Amino acid sequence: MNAQARNSTPIIEALSLHKSYGKHEVLKGLDLSLDRGEVVALIGPSGSGKSTFIRCLNMMEIPTGGTVRFRQKTVGDHFRDKGGEIGIGTLRRHVGMVFQHFNLFPHKTVLQNVTEGPIVVCKTPRKEAEERAMDLLSQVGLAEKHGAYPNHLSGGQKQRVAIARALAMEPEVLLLDEVTSALDPELVGEVLSVIRGLAEKGMTMAIVTHEMAFAADVASRVLFLDQGVIAESGSADQVILNPQNPRLQGFVSRFR
């Protein structure tokens, strides 16, 4: 965490967030407040609601109860900003997301994947978008691959392009959902080191991960999600290294 970049004004918050699919209540009232520059790790068993939670944070899933706040304003379930509320469009523009399965455009080059959002959504002039994309590709170590198509890249390279693509929108918050889970073990490190670099630069992030050592290393706070509630939260020391909750003890012991 970059102490300088951090201050105690929440940039994104979830207040008593609920999400049900039919009768199945997946999120049962979650609270989270993320300060600028803060890195939070979300851990928990499969099916506990981690993906649903971070998808609700950028309104890819519409919560069935509770509130998401961005820059201390309520986010409405409408696309445009109105009546003092932030719309989903503005929220998504500033809250980037990276997925387990990259979701790159297969028919576009690496450079085109990274420039697409700025050109189409932000109307950035192509030349400017390309210059910035090349900077970002250098940051993730892939400048020389700018003309390649995604199916000619390794999984680790694809994921680094996906991260550069998210950064091209200059997000204020980055949400990462198990971004190394689909990778061969030898490719995990290169992606984690890019994320670690972002944390050091003060990027605000919520990271769903099963990489316990990584979570303990980069996150200022770790949340354990279990059956749709935050069953434990605290420093990595408290949550990962000295868990009190028996279900959490069982969970983390599987990663030792």
- Min dist CB 137 to ligand ADP, Å, is 29
Q: Return the number of the residue (44 or 156) whose C-beta is nearest ligand ADP.
A: 44
Q: Answer with the entry of Mg ion, ligand ADP, none that 4 interacts with (C-beta below 5 to 8 A by kind).
A: none
- Min dist CB 248 to ligand ADP, Å, is 14
Do 98 and 104 meet the contact criterion of CB atoms below 8 Å apart?
A: no
Closest-CA residue to 203 (of 34, 67, 15, 36): 36
3-class DSSP assignment, residue 98:
strand
Q: Return the number of the residue (19 or 50) whose C-beta is nearest Mg ion.
A: 50
Q: Answer with the entry of ligand ADP, Mg ion, none that 124 interacts with (C-beta below 5 to 8 A by kind).
A: none
- Min dist CB 61 to ligand ADP, Å, is 7
Q: Return the number of the residue (26 or 166) whose C-beta is nearest ligand ADP.
A: 26
How many Å apart are CA 231 and CA 166, to the nearest integer?
30
Q: Answer with the entry of Mg ion, ligand ADP, none that 112 interacts with (C-beta below 5 to 8 A by kind).
A: none
**Contact positions toward ligand ADP, by CB under 6 A?**
21, 24, 26, 44, 46-52
3-class DSSP assignment, residue 65:
strand
Do 230 and 28 meet the contact criterion of CB atoms below 8 Å apart?
A: no
Closest-CA residue to 169 (of 128, 208, 116): 116
Q: Answer with the entry of Mg ion, ligand ADP, none that 49 interacts with (C-beta below 5 to 8 A by kind).
A: ligand ADP
Do 52 and 26 meet the contact criterion of CB atoms below 8 Å apart?
A: yes
Do 77 and 68 meet the contact criterion of CB atoms below 8 Å apart?
A: no
Q: Answer with the entry of ligand ADP, Mg ion, none that 256 interacts with (C-beta below 5 to 8 A by kind).
A: none
Q: Return the number of the residue (50 or 165) whose C-beta is nearest Mg ion.
A: 50
Contacts of residue 254, defined as CB under 8 A and 6 or more positions apart, other chains included, come to none
How many Å apart are CA 38 and CA 161, to the nearest integer?
23
Q: Answer with the entry of Mg ion, ligand ADP, none that 48 interacts with (C-beta below 5 to 8 A by kind).
A: ligand ADP
Distance of CA 182 to the CA centre of its chain: 16
Q: Return the number of the residue (44 or 118) whose C-beta is nearest ligand ADP.
A: 44
- Min dist CB 181 to ligand ADP, Å, is 10
CB count in 10 Å sphere of residue 103: 14
- Min dist CB 98 to ligand ADP, Å, is 14
Do 57 and 223 meet the contact criterion of CB atoms below 8 Å apart?
A: no
**Contact positions toward Mg ion, by CB under 5 A?**
50-51
Do 131 and 143 meet the contact criterion of CB atoms below 8 Å apart?
A: no
| Cβ-proximal residue to Mg ion, closest one | 51
- Min dist CB 29 to ligand ADP, Å, is 15
Q: Return the number of the residue (46 or 253) whose C-beta is nearest ligand ADP.
A: 46
